[in-house]
Amino acid sequence: MLLLVEQCLNGLQFGLLLFLLAAGLTLVFGIMDLVNLAHGSLYMMGAYFAATFVAWTGNFFAGAFLALAATLLLGIVLEMLALRPLYGRDHLDHVLGTFGLILFFNELVRLVWGPAGLSLPVPSALNTAVDIFGIYYPAYRLLIILVSLLVALFLYVVVMRTRLGMLIRAGASNREMAGALGVDIKLLFTLVFALGAALAGLAGLMHAPILTVQIGMGENILILAFVVIVIGGIGSIRGAFVAAVFVGVVDTLGRAFLPDLLRLALSSTAASTLAPALSSMLIYLLMAIVLALRPQGLFPVAGR
């Protein structure tokens, strides 16, 4: 039972990190109608910025703040220089253009930081375990859960309770009408993309102490982020949150317990061979089921 609770916490932590990445992706996709394959590269850049700035400042939190600011500025520059020419064009052009950005950022990282990758240690103050009902759980992972929940609350307040959020929702529903009513669509798109880049950078810098900071680290997790926004509904922050937590828990529990379940019916060798493949398939099976029952996702945005 304790192992189940621990794995559920791991799944929640992973799911909330997915939410940080998927929230920015679904905002960009839902409002700007832009298929941004380079969103994972912004996640990677956030991790590299964090590793660099933490080493420079000697303080994890100062380095994380600088990395977040650097990723936000990078998002603004990227939107203005590289992505504006893609607006209004076919999604295939988006895919080709942003795939080129993936190659650009990978080579840029190789030139600036080298091919070996970097490491970002967990801050010493958080390199402990917290007793949660008899389970000693890493304090840093609890910080990820807390920060992600606070970001989710912040996004809800911004999108649902502010004028900027009203404009974002108007742009998501009908950007032509919003533009006709006097909304500066270019500025709105820049702000939305910068926010999405900052969220991707936040996910990258918070995940960096758990993983190795390396070239291409954002590409596999980007696939999971697309799965999340498809399940939750394109453009829906609420859908991204629910789907990310669900995907994180299903993926983590599948990888933790599926091998033992398979050993009840198969040999140990066959179970060990089959379990990783089936665990990876679980979230795609979940996506297929959701699309079969609700083609627009769990929480479709009105007007889409």
The set of long-range contacts for 79-82, using a CB threshold of 8 Å and a minimum separation of 24, is 79/189, 79/190, 79/193, 79/194, 80/190
pLDDT of residue 88: 79
pLDDT of residue 110: 95
Paired tokens of 271: 């179970």
Find which of 156-160, 211-215, 278-282 is predicted with most confidence, using mean pLDDT. 211-215
| Angstrom distance (rounded) from CA 51 to CA 303 | 42
pLDDT of residue 172: 64
pLDDT of residue 39: 93
| Angstrom distance (rounded) from CA 284 to CA 167 | 33
Q: Supply the mean pLDDT for the chain.
A: 87
Structure letter (DSSP) for residue 295: T
| Angstrom distance (rounded) from CA 170 to CA 184 | 12
Residues ≥6 apart with Cβ < 8 Å to 294:
300
Q: How far is CA 4 from CA 1, 37, 50, 201, 250, in A?
A: 5, 34, 32, 30, 12
How sure is the predictor about 244, in pLDDT bands with cuts at 50, 70 and 90?
A: very high
